[in-house]
Amino acid sequence: MKIVILDGYAENPGDLSWAGIEALGDLTIHDRTPVEKVAETIGNAEIVLSNKAQVRADAMAKCPNLKYIGVLSTGYDCIDVKAAADRGVIVTNIPTYGTTAVAQFAIALLMEIAYRVGHHAKAVASGRWERSPDWSFWDYPLIELDGKTIGLIGFGRIGQATGKVANALGMEVLAFDDHQSDEGRAIARYASLDELLPQSDVVSLHCPLLPETRGIINKTTIAKMKDGAILINNSRGPLIVEEDLAAALNSGKLYAAGLDVVNQEPIRGDNPLLKAKNCLITPHISWAPRESRQRLMELATENIKAFLDGKPKNVVSS
């Protein structure tokens, strides 16, 4: 069985082992594969693994031996799953590996906005405290989160994990999700989007990228948000209309945004959020602690084993 990994570097830059997957077939690992080289790279392989490398219908059509695509992430919008299903190609994802890491990173973005730890540490290192006429200084308003309201748009595994941390910080948690549960009610109060937006001091996105969620944060929904609110997004970049968010930050309608994702990744130099006021952007690293990547590796191996046994799991193409 020939196995090809299209973009293995992000998952494993050298601190993990591919041995579990190597044991399952003839493995070829590519650090990166541009979209125009995907079909050529897949060649006659039966099994393909992709993190973010796009596998489109035209590439699948050129790879008649292709039977299985394993996505090395939870999101699978890089794969044309309809085309895969039409060709009888199984596509699987890994839905649970990074729940804790992503939830913690959402709170880390919020905490950095609230306290600007990194900024003030750099200020001290540059000698500003030594030169200060006062025993203490700060460059940004410092925000105590206890008693504030956080509204979570999307309340699945990651949203609920984020809500638990927010509860521990003393925050009131609101949640918007079409699928409600008793587990969710133990963490948050469910609310409609129109209720959540104006009541939340912080709005945090934890929903998948679907037609109905694409651009869910736009000038209309931003207008409904509380003046001076904070927006957090480490889910999917296209959930936000970036021009509308930049305008809201620059006008002061929103106080700040903490983003780990953008519409086009890597970010383009002309992205309006790069010059927006109070916009903290990190390079899509919520998922990347070694512990979560190790879980991803193990679960990817189990997904392939299940496929080879004729009992595929975590299938998203049916």
The whole-angstrom separation of Cα 176 and Cα 151 is 8
> Residue 224: what residue type?
K
The whole-angstrom separation of Cα 11 and Cα 16 is 9
Token pair for residue 156? 């699945």
The whole-angstrom separation of Cα 276 and Cα 281 is 11
The whole-angstrom separation of Cα 88 and Cα 246 is 43
Gyration radius (Cα) of the chain, Å: 21
Out of 236, 242, 293, 295, the active site residue is 236
Burial of 161 (0-12, 13-18, 19+ CB in 10 A): buried
Token pair for residue 214? 């694409």
Contact 86, 41 (CB under 8 A): no
Q: What angle do CA 284, 286, 292 make, to 5 degrees?
A: 125
Let me know if 236 is a catalytic residue. Answer: yes
Out of 11, 46, 116, 284, the active site residue is 284
Out of 265, 268, 290, 291, the active site residue is 265
Let me know if 11 is a catalytic residue. Answer: no
The whole-angstrom separation of Cα 272 and Cα 164 is 33
Cross-strand partners of 92: 70, 315
* Catalytic residue IDs: 236, 265, 284
